[in-house]
Chains A and B, each alone.
Chain A
């Protein structure tokens, strides 16, 4: 129905987004306004209209998340398979599309085991408490010019608060499993997140300083008004947030919390059946919600230059979300896992100083913008050039001066200089091959 409707509308009215017809789902507010109008006509009190519209928005978001959590299992496995020269699931249905359904049915049939010594309530609540924050984040994310469930004044802080609650649920899972490896996983998560909270917040501070608001819709409108994606103004903040949040997501470059090869799956070792399924789904949901945050903050959300006059905002938004999600899958498919000391050093020695430098620079820029009184048309290109150069210089400088030297054959562990390590035969790969592969 919606597709036909889209085709029937002539080009002229496509530029004028809100036609007012309820079936014009290019803008969901058409539908909600229709419902408002009918409810008012039927004499519903004001508060019930709030409740009903909130419920509709929540249902829509949960439906989206449910669909995404199922489809992304397939997306992730296929894409990672492609990157690793494998096929990925390709048996069930066209292109293996029914594989997630089969996985879900299998998980639901499995018995949910619980360790006899586990405190039952905490053990049961942990996967639920882990899933909820990832869904709750979507409440403040705008889907279109008029489509946002809760336009909070402190939307960004709300997102940070929600993601900090997930830590505690991971700890609940690891502790209540009453298992050595689960506890290791939980402790690793906490040590990691205590470190990574700082670059995340300091990185986002640059965005907030530029936009002058913590409301996500306000940040999108700032990007629209100034005709520039935030990633151009704040490339360093984007990189810092991307790396730091992929650590917080427990995805492979930083998945020390559930490293299968070291601690058997970490905090969800003891979970089985649908309780494990919830952890698995929550991981995907968190990845999507973080992609949505990045798409909103750095890539303009539902706005894309003139494109949002032709294509509905929520389609642009979902496209951007999947673009960012692809970046996450890419890092997962290609990068090896950090060791825990490397991961913490990365947060404290690289991301945090860079984020602090970024905040200082952004504060100076915003001050110059406000005090000079010159227009955005002059300042925005200047900021794009300055911040791009700064990002390149900082990353190059940090790599040049602070990174450990690359050794093809490391002769001694870096952190314990006083141990003698037997030296390897001094043969490079090229020499090895030149000898015809004989040592």
Chain B
């Protein structure tokens, strides 16, 4: 097996054991058989590492942080070892014009071959002036770099769908990469932050099979986002059995029952959180007693809030501002109005009869 000497091609601090372990995790996330692990290892250890330009726009760097700050550094280091990271504002040594020159040089050298990773949304309002790097707007940079890439990986919900920047009223006109770039293949790895395993799996899939993984209709790789959290949740039996947390801290909460009634959005969210889990210690929000907030879904700040209720508020148009009310209360209000209308209608009929007598009987008398 060609994996024998892979230790030389990669970071000496990353032991072969941990390297194989990281590749195996990615293979498991991709749903590949263990016989594929050597192929992944071979691809990951190839001396020809794909150049990566990592662009940061409107973001909090949380995606990068979650990638790098794994409790033991297997995945973060593995990612940094299998790709040649030519430009990444958070971790590169170069600064200022030097950094921009390095980026331009790498783009020109690897035109059509490099992977462009985008982190953060792109503001489009007022010519995109709300996010500028080195005097250029994010729109400009993406329009320049994006089409020259072999593929774009949008990491995080902001780069995928706009994220919190795009939440109503979206003051900067923020959008995701897929709204601006049409001709370059784009993979979305949404999440706030996304699981590093999903990113690693996508990169390794690309290196091993020379093509991007299959995606759903929202551009998310099916191996990670093909199933809903609810359908993989360890608390699912409590849902089916009708054992619910009524409020945080109650006895049912202590027993680890289902969080559906305190607003868990797992039933509406496609992700692999219950399976892949986070931070190498096997945790994920529902596992530690907080409902899923649906962070891998487009517009989740608008459609998943309030986070501790089942359904979002409904905007009633009018008065310029619009009133937001719960779906329940709007239904009940309209029911009240209908009941009132029926009551008035009936009262008019009875009133008319009292005043004028029974007209239909009179008609019959004729």
A and B held together in a complex: no
Q: Which residues of B contact A (CB under 8 A)?
A: none
Q: Which residues of A contact B (CB under 8 A)?
A: none
